[in-house]
Amino acid sequence: MDLKEVIQTLKVGIIGGTGYVGAELIRLLSCHKKIEISAISSVSFSGKKLSDIYQNFYNLNNLVCENEEDVLEKSDIIFLALPNGLSEELAEKILKRNKICIDMGADFRFKNGLTYKKWYGKDFSLPELHEKSVYGLPELNREKIKGAKIIGNPGCYATSIELALLPLISKNLIEETGIISDSKSGVTGSGKSLSESSHFTNCNESLSAYKIANHRHTPEIEETLGSISSKDVKLTFVPHLLPINRGILSTIYTTPKEKINLTELHKEYSNFYKNEPFVNVLPLGGTAKINNVRLSNYCQISLHYDAENNKLILVSCIDNMIKGSAGQGIQNMNLALGFNEKEGLDFIPPAF
C-alpha cells in the first residue's frame, strides 16, 4: 500500500457496522474530509441498508451491509467493531494485505496474554500479532501509533481513568496502590444487545453499581499505568449505570506521597496536557461534568484536594461513544495515516 496514494483516496471499512460503535463510527466518518467509507459488514443485517436499521441515516447514507471479505478487499483501513475474542484472525488477514487494523474491542488492549486469559477466558491465538500491536491512547502512545498497522482502541472507562492519572503516575506523585475509581456511564456503554440491567424499567430513575471490583477494564488500566511506573499499579474500580444514553464521569481517589500544593499541581497538569488537542484541565474550583463533553471527543479533568485526609480527588468526564470509543478510534486513524489529529473531530460540545 503506497501511503502517499492512500492519503489522497483513503477508503475505510467497518466490520460490525451496525452495533452502537459501528454506527457511531459511520456517523463521525461521514464528516471526515479525507476518507470515503467504502464498505460495512454485519452478520445480523447482511444485505440490508444501513438506513433501514438506523433511520437517522435515511437519505444521507446508502451503504448496504456486505460480508467481511468485501470489506477487506474494498478498504485501506478497517475498523473491527466486534465482540471480544473475534478480532485476531481478521487482524492477521488485514496485516497480510498490508492494510491497517483498528480493533475497537479488547483483543489488542493487552500485552500480557495471561492477564487477557484470566479476564476474558481465552488465550492469544496469534501472540505474534500482539507484539506488533499498539495500545491506542494517543496521549500516551502518539509516536508509536504513527505508522502502526494494528491498534487496540482503549476501553471507555479505561480512557477516562487513565487520562486523569497519567500525570500523577508518570511523575511518581501518588501511591500506586489504594487508588479508587467510582465511575458512572450511560447505557450505550453496554452495547446494543439488551440485558436485564439495561431494560428501561430497571435503569430509568435509578443508579446501580455492577461488576464491583470485577470489571474487565481494571486490568487494562493497571497494565497501562504500570507500563509507565516503576511499580505495579493497583486499582479498586466500581462502575455504575446511569439512566442516560451516553457519557462517563469518573471520580478517582488517590493518596499523594507528600503533602501537595494544589495550585502547583494544577500547573503541572496544565503543562502535561498543554499540547493535547482533546484534553482540557479545568481551572481550580471548576468540576468536570458530562454535559460539557457530550457529543464530543474531549476529556475534561478537574482537580480537588482533601487536605485533612491527604486525598487528591480527580474528576474526569468523556463521552463514552466518542472519546471513549469511535472518536478515539478516528483520532488513532488520523495519527496512523499522518492526517491532522483533529480531522473530523474538532467540533464543540453542545451547551445543553
- Residues taking part in catalysis: 156
Cβ contact 51:58 at 8 Å: yes
Could you give the maximum distance between any two Cα atoms of the chain, in Å? 62
Alpha helix positions (H), the chain: 3-9, 20-29, 50-53, 68-74, 88-96, 113-120, 127-132, 138-145, 156-170, 200-203, 217-226, 262-272, 327-337
N-term to C-term CA, the chain: 44
CA 161 to chain centre: 11
Q: Classify burial at 320, counting beta carbons within 10 Å of its beta carbon; exposed 0-12, middle 13-18, buried 19 or more.
A: buried
Q: Could you give the CA distance from residue 24 to residue 325 in angstroms, rounded to a whole number?
A: 9
Q: Which residue has the cell 463521525?
A: 28
State the CB neighbour count (10 A cutoff) for residue 50.
25
Q: Cα–Cα distance between 40 and 139 in angstroms, integer? A: 29
Contact by Cβ (8 Å): 132, 103: no
Angstrom CA distances, 256 to 49, 58, 178, 313, stand at 54, 53, 11, 10
| C-alpha–C-alpha distance, residues 184 and 158, integer Å | 12
